Amino acid sequence: MIVSIANEYSVPVSEVRAIIDFYHFLSDKKNADYHFYFSNNIIDKMAHSDLLVLQLGERLNSIIQQDPSRVCLDETSCIGLADHAPAALVNGRPLPALNPQSIEEVAELVALGRPLDHWPAHLFQVRTRICRRSWLLNMSLPPGESLLSWQTKGSATILQELQASQLRGRGGAGFATALKWRSCEEQHSGEKYVICNADEGEPGTFKDRVMLSEHSDWLWEGMTLCAATVGASKGFLYLRAEYAYLLPQLETSLQVRRDTGWLGAALKERLGFEFDIQIVLGAGAYICGEESALLESLEGKRGIPRIRPPFPTISGYLRQPTVVNNVETFIHAAAIISKGSDSFLQLGTTQSKGTQLLSISGDCQRPGVYEYAFGETVEQILSDCGADEVQAVQIGGPSGQLLGPQSFHLTLGYEALGGSGSLMIFNHRRSLIEVVNNFTNFFAFESCGFCTPCRVGTALNQRMLTRLHLKQLRQHEIQLLEESVRLMQNSSHCGLGQSAGNSILNLLHDFPETVEQLLNTIGDDNEARLVQALQPAVQLRKS
């Protein structure tokens, strides 16, 4: 099969193999009739996903034994349903909020060989939980409103307004959106591209999924506004494969825009430029959320982050000037241009203006999407979502920070907590080593493998964290762990490796009692005695 693909596309066989091996959802074998991917994020584990996998495995064991091509039980990194944990995908469709009853039902349907189209709809139903609305989510944004504003004011004024709003990217890095758009606008050669990053791979994050399912029109508006402003005629939505089930409704809403003259050829007559958007699916690789890896992936390659500079606004997709923004960023930009930046600027803090969307999951009564003005304290957020006896929270996903109660006074914003899109909550019954171990496994699985410190460091950290969990790690090995993390922070090629050890350092430094209880101290006194016994030899060597 690999050889025929290589021939069809005239690429080396090794390239085809390289790509299949890189993306988690690609394989050179035919998929099983029912291919399950259980989400293995800590939030799913806390909701007993492991037991449910076992239950399903037991029920389907005889079928799998008979014919392995019928069923495959697999796991994968967080599928963006932490508000519906534990969750899984079956042939790309979501199975949210699983429990022993629904697993029983699923096992029955598989045993009967029932096609997915005939499974009861409730099994696939993802309910949208928007739990708090503020500036953005209370708004009504009629299609074309920001585009008409562009038509009257022109690109220069739009860029000024965006700059005045101080909007910063919501994909994590917090780069000023106006600067990005301006840099692309200023390029005078080549075809330009507008790309929306809907890879949303950071475990525990699902706010982009909710925006895509509830407000895709706002996203198309924001991308089209960007295209108008920078002068691009082609746009892409890079959608993570885990969200493939949103494809039909996204295609429909794109078509509605075309039919109503806000996209495609019709735009030419109305506003004097052409722009259309194509949806491209990822294939299971967290690193493809990093913008330059995303561009590589979009070009059909392995998602290895590029050397930067040059940045995408100068040399992006096909080496042409390209804007890459997060889903929420495009939506915010459209809202700011439609409604003006005054009300936006009134919210937030000095360096972080406006509001942001938070994906809240874990030990709380009301998981879901919350819109907060920057400057809100973690404490207030925890009380709003009904979380008590909180031991720690992970803000910004595994690459963010693990905070204990001593830090709950900190506030949302780029100043302190970064442009974090998620909050995972752990109460006092949870084991923090399990949490950090889970994150460490995630990074080892998702490291692209390009650079030494991250490729090797994530693997070393994984082994050391597992041993710490098993109470095997000794005090002196903690230093090795720290060295590995520092090496990754200082010399990794991209943000994945640079941030992969954050939660490890948080655990070591902010939760010393937890770590102390885990250390292997058996025979420590023997060691001391041995050192003492060897003293004369050491002396001799020194003299």
Which DSSP category does 205 fall into?
A: -
Q: Which of 268, 319, 463, 471 binds other proteins (CB under 8 A)?
A: 463
Binding residues for ligand FMN restricted to 403-432, rule: CB under 6 A: none
CB of 369 to ligand FMN, least distance (A): 16
Q: Name the helix (H) or strand (E) containing 376.
A: none
Q: Which of the ranges 323-331, 390-398, 441-449, 515-523 carries the binding residues for ligand SF4, by CB under 6 A?
A: 441-449
Q: Name the helix (H) or strand (E) containing 473.
A: none
435 token code pair: 């949490």
φ, ψ for residue 267, nearest 5 deg: -60, -30
Q: Which of the ranges 69-77, 121-129, 172-180, 473-481 carries the binding residues for ligand FMN, by CB under 6 A?
A: 172-180
φ, ψ for residue 93, nearest 5 deg: -95, 145
480's contact among ligand SF4, other proteins, ligand FMN, none, with CB below 5 to 8 A by partner kind, is other proteins
Q: Which of 126, 451, 460, 518 binds ligand SF4 (CB under 6 A)?
A: 451
Measure the CA–CA gap between 180 and 168, rounded to whole angstroms.
10
Question: Minimal CA–CA distance to 357: which of 178, 205, 479?
Answer: 205
Q: Which of 430, 455, 469, 474 binds other proteins (CB under 8 A)?
A: 455
326: contact with ligand FMN by CB under 6 A: yes
296's CB contacts (< 8 A; 6+ apart) are: 302, 303, 304, 305, 306
170's contact among ligand SF4, ligand FMN, other proteins, none, with CB below 5 to 8 A by partner kind, is ligand FMN
Measure the CA–CA gap between 201 and 495, rounded to whole angstroms.
13
Q: Three-state SS across 385-398?
A: CCCCCEEEEEECCC
408's CB contacts (< 8 A; 6+ apart) are: 377, 378, 379, 382, 390, 393
From the number of C-beta atoms within 10 Å of its C-beta (0-12, 13-18, 19+), residue 294 rates as buried
Instruction: Considering the complex, state which of residue 256 and residue 459 has its C-beta at the smaller distance from other proteins.
Output: 459
Q: What is the largest CA-CA distance in the chain?
A: 92
Q: Which of the ranges 122-130, 135-143, 266-274, 493-501 carries the binding residues for ligand FMN, by CB under 6 A?
A: 493-501
Instruction: Considering the complex, state which of residue 22 and residue 38 has its C-beta at the smaller distance from other proteins.
Output: 22
290: contact with ligand FMN by CB under 6 A: yes
> Which DSSP string corresponds to 179-200?
HHHHHHHT--SS--EEEEEE--
165: contact with ligand FMN by CB under 6 A: no
Measure the CA–CA gap between 133 and 326, rounded to whole angstroms.
20
221's contact among ligand FMN, ligand SF4, other proteins, none, with CB below 5 to 8 A by partner kind, is none
497: contact with ligand SF4 by CB under 6 A: yes
CB of 448 to ligand SF4, least distance (A): 3
Question: What's the sign of the alpha-carbon dihedral 321, 305, 424, 237?
Answer: positive
What's the half-sphere exposure (Cβ side, CA atoms, 13 Å) at 239? 24
Measure the CA–CA gap between 24 and 284, rounded to whole angstroms.
5
Length of the chain (residues): 543
Q: Which of 87, 219, 287, 390 binds ligand SF4 (CB under 6 A)?
A: 287
143: contact with other proteins by CB under 8 A: no
Q: Which of 22, 25, 450, 511 binds ligand SF4 (CB under 6 A)?
A: 450
493: contact with other proteins by CB under 8 A: yes
Q: Which of the ranges 337-345, 479-487, 502-510, 528-536 carries the binding residues for other proteins, by CB under 8 A?
A: 479-487
Q: Which of 39, 76, 149, 197 binds ligand FMN (CB under 6 A)?
A: 197
How many residues contact ligand SF4, by CB under 6 A? 14
Binding site for other proteins (CB under 8 A): 2-3, 12-15, 17-19, 21-22, 285, 287, 302, 307, 444-453, 455-460, 463-464, 480, 483-484, 487, 490-493
Binding site for ligand FMN (CB under 6 A): 169-173, 175, 197, 199-202, 287, 289-291, 324-326, 329, 494-496
